[in-house]
């Protein structure tokens, strides 16, 4: 026999047959005549369309001077290799589907789902997180968002973020929520706007008035600032603290409360600092107006701007902030937003709030 490939290499029997035919100068028709088999059968064996049976193995052994076991083992190893290859390709397709449905890598990094090399386990983690029975079932969140082929990566990441908000909110135990107490709650909350040291008590205040308070950093490329939704008949305010500044914190917080205060029942996911006014819907504009009204009365702020424009000294800002019982950073943030003050000026007043709310932030990243 010619130089035969060792059968442990999982080579298709047809390749070995072709090599032997070439070494002997035979055609497929010649082998068909020698073995007493139709030429089509020989062609199908060579193209791996037919498997080598015990009888075929005996005939090949006689034709090429080998043992029947050689051909049977070669066929067995080849079929095992093909089965493994097909299974691997199926796993790739299943894994690709999961990564299309959700930001799996980031969810794993944050500890929202457990890491697993098994595709079966990974699918179970996906189903557990989104509370679905199969990966083909579309997850439902507070806004009835559905993952579909039309949704882009950012949209699917937003859905995962909202689902995490729901999970964390469900673990809290707020007091009964009474909508008619919202004005009282907001007034109580606004008393905290003058001093950043009061910020750590805000989450507890929310729970006492029957509202959930959640902080989850935004997922990459989603640019989320906050959301307002409902879980178990309780309103939820969720923040990402994407802009870790006292002015952004208070505006976002009050914007989300504005949705609840104005009884906007559907869920709102907000990208407050990356959208133009003309892109906002009526409810978004209404929540913006309400938040601004709570932060600083428009007439007072406009009067201050007209009196001090174009120079806004530290002392004048501090005095106006004290008159309004607001933190100077809130006034500076409004001046920057209106283009009255450069973003590079007086930034020392824009204190960070994340360290003050660290115990409330979802930052369980094990990897």
Instruction: Identify the CA nearest to 200 among candidates 350, 353, 356.
Output: 356
* Higher-confidence position of 313 and 366: 313
Domains contained in the chain, CATH given: 7-92 (1.10.260.40), 94-160 (no CATH), 161-360 (no CATH)
The predicted model gives 152-178 an average pLDDT of: 91
Instruction: Identify the CA nearest to 142 among candidates 159, 123, 121, 118.
Output: 159
Q: pLDDT confidence of 2, banded at 50, 70, 90?
A: very low
Q: Does the pLDDT value for residue 364 go beyond 60?
A: no
**How far is the C-alpha of 125 from the C-alpha of 157, rounded, in Å?**
16
Q: pLDDT confidence of 254, banded at 50, 70, 90?
A: very high
Q: List C-alpha distances in Å: 350 to 106, 265, 317, 353.
A: 30, 32, 13, 9
> What residues pair up with 215 in beta bridges, in sequence order?
239, 361
Which pLDDT score is estimated for 244? 95
Q: pLDDT confidence of 294, banded at 50, 70, 90?
A: very high
**How far is the C-alpha of 42 from the C-alpha of 31, rounded, in Å?**
8
Report whether 329 contacts 351 (CB < 8 A): yes
The predicted model gives 102-115 an average pLDDT of: 93
Q: pLDDT confidence of 367, banded at 50, 70, 90?
A: very low
Report whether 218 contacts 212 (CB < 8 A): no
Question: Residue 257 belongs to what H/E stretch?
Answer: helix 246-261
Reported as a single tens digit per residue, the pLDDT across 189-242 is: 999 999 999 999 999 999 999 999 999 999 988 888 999 999 988 999 999 999
Q: pLDDT confidence of 160, banded at 50, 70, 90?
A: very high
Q: Whole-number mean pLDDT of the chain?
A: 88
Q: pLDDT confidence of 24, banded at 50, 70, 90?
A: very high
């Amino acid at each position: 026999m010619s130089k035969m490939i060792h059968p442990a290499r999982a080579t298709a029997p047809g390749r070995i047959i072709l090599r032997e035919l070439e070494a002997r100068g035979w055609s497929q028709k010649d082998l068909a005549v020698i073995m007493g088999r139709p030429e089509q059968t020989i062609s199908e064996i060579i193209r791996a369309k037919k498997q080598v049976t015990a009888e075929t193995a005996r005939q090949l052994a006689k034709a090429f001077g080998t043992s029947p076991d050689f051909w049977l083992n070669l066929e067995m190893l080849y079929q095992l290799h093909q089965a493994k290859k097909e299974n691997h390709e199926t796993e790739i397709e299943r894994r690709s589907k999961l990564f299309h449905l959700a930001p799996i890598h980031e969810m794993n990094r944050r500890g929202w789902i457990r890491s697993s090399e098994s595709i079966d386990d990974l699918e179970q983690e996906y189903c557990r997180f989104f509370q679905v029975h199969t990966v083909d079932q579309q997850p439902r969140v507070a806004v009835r968002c559905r993952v579909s082929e039309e949704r882009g990566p950012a949209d699917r990441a937003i859905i995962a973020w909202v689902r995490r908000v729901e999970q964390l909110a469900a673990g809290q135990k707020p007091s009964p929520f009474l909508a008619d107490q919202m004005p009282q709650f907001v007034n109580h909350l606004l008393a905290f706007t003058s001093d950043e040291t009061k910020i750590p008590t805000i989450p507890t205040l929310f729970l006492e008035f029957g509202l959930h308070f959640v902080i989850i950093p935004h997922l990459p490329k989603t640019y989320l600032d906050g959301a307002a939704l409902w879980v178990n008949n309780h309103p939820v305010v969720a923040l990402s603290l994407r802009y870790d500044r006292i002015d952004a914190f208070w505006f976002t917080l009050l914007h989300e409360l504005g949705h609840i205060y104005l009884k906007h029942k559907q869920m709102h996911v907000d990208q407050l600092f990356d959208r133009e006014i003309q892109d906002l819907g009526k409810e978004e504009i209404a929540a913006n107006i309400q938040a601004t009204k709570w932060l600083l009365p428009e007439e007072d702020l406009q009067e201050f701007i007209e009196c001090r424009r174009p120079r806004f000294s530290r002392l004048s800002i501090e005095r106006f902030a004290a008159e309004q019982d607001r933190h100077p950073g809130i006034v500076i943030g409004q001046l920057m937003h209106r283009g009255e003050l450069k973003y590079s000026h007086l930034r020392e007043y824009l204190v960070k709030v994340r360290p003050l709310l660290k115990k409330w932030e979802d930052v369980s990243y094990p990897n």
